């Protein structure tokens, strides 16, 4: 328990160690710690920002999706409308065409009928003439009796 020169030497050693710590130990370590703290804080801030952006993006994507769905249903609606229009148009055209064909056919038929009647009439006239020839048992001069033949023909009409 005696105070002696050891005290002074220890105080000197102490001051050297303090100087060493102040000069060489504390500042670089503190710098490293603070830099890391800053990096961590930056990282956290970036993460927060990313989260926010993700939120915005998902909001935007759902908006886009909603709009696209709406557009799609509109398009489908239009397409259906158009399809019925086309079908109606086709029906109408088909009906017209059919009517036209029917009309043509009817005209053809009446024409055929007319020409058949004509042919029949001629044929009948010839038959009648042939019959008359046979009845008269003589040759009828066609030139002489043309007026009679025409008259018969006229009758058969």
Partner 1 sequence: MAAETELTPTSYIDHHLTYLTTQVSEGSFWVLHVDTLVTSLVLGVISFGFIWLVVRKATSGVPSKTQAFVELAVEFIDNEVKNTFHGNRHVLVAPLALTIFVWVLMMNAMDILPIDIMAWVTENVFGVHNWKIVPTTDVNTTFALALSVWFLMIFFNIKVKGLSGWMHELFCTPFGKNPLFWILNLLFNFIEYVSKPLSHSLRLFGNIYAGEIIFLLLGMWAATGVSGTIFGSILGAGWAIFHILIVTLQAFIFMMLTVVYISMAHESH
Residues in the chain: 157
Contact segment (CB under 8 A) with partner 1 among 9-17, 45-53, 117-125, 148-156 equals 9-17
The reply on whether position 10 binds partner 1 by CB under 8 A is yes
**For partner 1, which is the closer residue by CB, 30 or 146?**
30
Compute the distance between CA of residue 122 and CA of residue 139 in angstroms, rounded to an integer: 20
Compute the distance between CA of residue 150 and CA of residue 140 in angstroms, rounded to an integer: 14
| Segments in 23-145 forming alpha helices (H) | 26-136
Binding mask 25-44 for partner 1 (x = CB under 8 A): xxxxxxxxxxxx--x-----
The reply on whether position 126 binds partner 1 by CB under 8 A is no
Compute the distance between CA of residue 122 and CA of residue 128 in angstroms, rounded to an integer: 10
Compute the distance between CA of residue 123 and CA of residue 4 in angstroms, rounded to an integer: 170
**Sign (positive/negative) of CA torsion 57, 62, 64, 65?**
positive
**For partner 1, which is the closer residue by CB, 39 or 86?**
39
**For partner 1, which is the closer residue by CB, 8 or 87?**
8
The reply on whether position 114 binds partner 1 by CB under 8 A is no
CB of 45 to partner 1, least distance (A): 17
Contact segment (CB under 8 A) with partner 1 among 7-15, 43-51, 135-143, 144-152 equals 7-15
Number of chain residues interacting with partner 1 (CB under 8 A):
33
Compute the distance between CA of residue 15 and CA of residue 21 in angstroms, rounded to an integer: 10
CB of 75 to partner 1, least distance (A): 56
Burial class (CB in 10 A: 0-12, 13-18, 19+), 47: exposed
User: Interface with partner 1 by CB under 8 A: which residues?
Assistant: 1-11, 13-15, 17-18, 20-22, 24-36, 39
């Amino acid at each position: 328990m005696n105070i002696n020169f050891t005290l002074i030497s220890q105080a000197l050693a102490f001051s050297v160690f303090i100087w060493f710590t102040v000069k060489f130990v504390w500042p670089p370590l503190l710098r490293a710690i603070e830099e890391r703290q800053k990096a961590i804080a930056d990282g956290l801030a970036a993460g927060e920002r990313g989260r926010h952006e993700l939120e915005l993006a998902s909001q935007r994507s759902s908006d886009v999706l909603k709009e696209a769905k709406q557009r799609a249903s509109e398009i489908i609606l239009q397409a259906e409308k158009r399809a019925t229009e086309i079908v109606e148009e086709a029906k109408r055209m088909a009906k017209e065409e059919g009517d036209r064909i029917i009309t043509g056919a009817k005209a053809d038929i009446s024409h055929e009928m007319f020409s058949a009647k004509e042919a029949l009439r001629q044929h009948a006239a010839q038959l009648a003439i042939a019959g008359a020839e046979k009845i008269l048992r003589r040759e009828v001069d066609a030139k002489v009796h043309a007026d009679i033949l025409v008259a018969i023909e006229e009758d058969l009409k």
